[in-house]
């Protein structure tokens, strides 16, 4: 929050407790939208407001969404080694986590050839149990390059996605092992998605990009050349 003029939010947030179930003060802050994280083509201001069936299981039932997810690699959430700029942390134990950290020195494939973030799409309604694009959790804030933009099927823990809500956002529910999870970059822009690279550049990546090229862009240290796209 420090970096986009949300000083008051940052000052009042208790980072010593989890974002999920972290007390009333944190719960009020996690519902505050920041326009920076919303694509105007989607649904600015979208939240996750748990459905009545799920609300009893969560003390924090309103959390902000965001269209921009960070890159965790070419296939699923957990892969061997550190191959992407970001890795998974636990939302249930924020008092003791050690972040996955990457500096520019570790991006040996080149910062201009390594994805940092890409777009994803919101569920069509706030009060559905679909955690994709839930930025204040670990699992909803990542994307993988398992399939090119706007293609393929997301894989996410049951009941945290609902592929029946929108046929253009298919999702297969899986178990709770993140090694089985993947979220695909998606947008409402015709023909592709916007993506940020580790050098700070933002580029429009077409849906027609070759799957292998898209996956190479998601790795930071493979040593393989990246084909034209």
My answer on whether omega of the bond before 159 falls inside 30° of 0, hence cis, is yes
pLDDT for the residue 56: 56
Going by C-alpha positions, the residue among 149, 139, 147, 145 that lies closest to residue 173 is 139
Helix (H, G, I), strand (E, B) or coil at 119: strand
Hey, CA dihedral for 104, 107, 111, 115, is it positive or negative? negative
The DSSP element (H or E) to which 218 belongs, if any, is helix 211-218
Contact 115, 200 (CB under 8 A): no
Contact 18, 92 (CB under 8 A): yes
Residue ranges covered by each domain of the chain? 13-218
Helix (H, G, I), strand (E, B) or coil at 142: strand
Query: What CA–CA distance (Å, rounded) separates 67 from 38?
Result: 5
Query: What CA–CA distance (Å, rounded) separates 150 from 169?
Result: 8
pLDDT by residue for the chain (229 residues), tens only, comes to 445 567 787 788 777 776 655 666 777 777 788 888 999 999 998 988 766 565 555 554 578 899 999 999 999 887 767 889 987 655 444 444 445 678 899 999 999 999 999 999 998 888 777 889 988 776 788 899 999 999 999 998 887 888 888 889 999 998 877 778 899 999 999 999 999 999 999 999 999 999 999 999 999 999 999 989 9
CA 4 to chain CA centroid, nearest Å? 19
Query: What CA–CA distance (Å, rounded) separates 92 from 95?
Result: 9
């Amino acid at each position: 929050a420090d970096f986009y003029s949300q000083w008051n939010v940052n000052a009042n947030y208790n980072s010593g407790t989890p974002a999920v179930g972290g007390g009333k003060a944190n719960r009020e802050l996690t519902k505050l939208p920041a326009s920076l994280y919303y694509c105007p083509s989607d649904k600015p201001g979208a939240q996750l407001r748990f459905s009545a069936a799920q609300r009893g299981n969560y003390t924090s039932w309103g959390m902000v969404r965001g269209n921009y997810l960070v890159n965790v690699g070419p296939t699923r959430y957990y892969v061997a080694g550190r191959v992407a700029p970001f890795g998974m942390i636990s939302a249930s134990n924020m008092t003791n986590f050690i972040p996955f950290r990457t500096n520019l020195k570790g991006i040996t494939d080149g910062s201009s050839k390594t994805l940092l973030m890409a777009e994803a799409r919101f569920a069509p309604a706030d009060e559905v149990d679909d955690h994709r694009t839930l930025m204040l959790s670990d699992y909803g804030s990542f994307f993988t390059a398992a399939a090119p933009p706007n293609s393929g099927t997301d894989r996410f823990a049951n009941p945290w996605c609902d592929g029946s809500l929108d046929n253009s956002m298919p999702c297969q529910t899986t178990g709770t092992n993140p090694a089985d999870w993947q979220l695909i970059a998606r947008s409402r822009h015709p023909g592709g998605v916007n993506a940020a690279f580790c050098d700070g550049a933002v580029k429009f990546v077409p849906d027609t990009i070759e799957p292998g090229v898209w996956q190479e862009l998601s790795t930071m240290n493979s040593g393989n050349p990246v084909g034209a796209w």
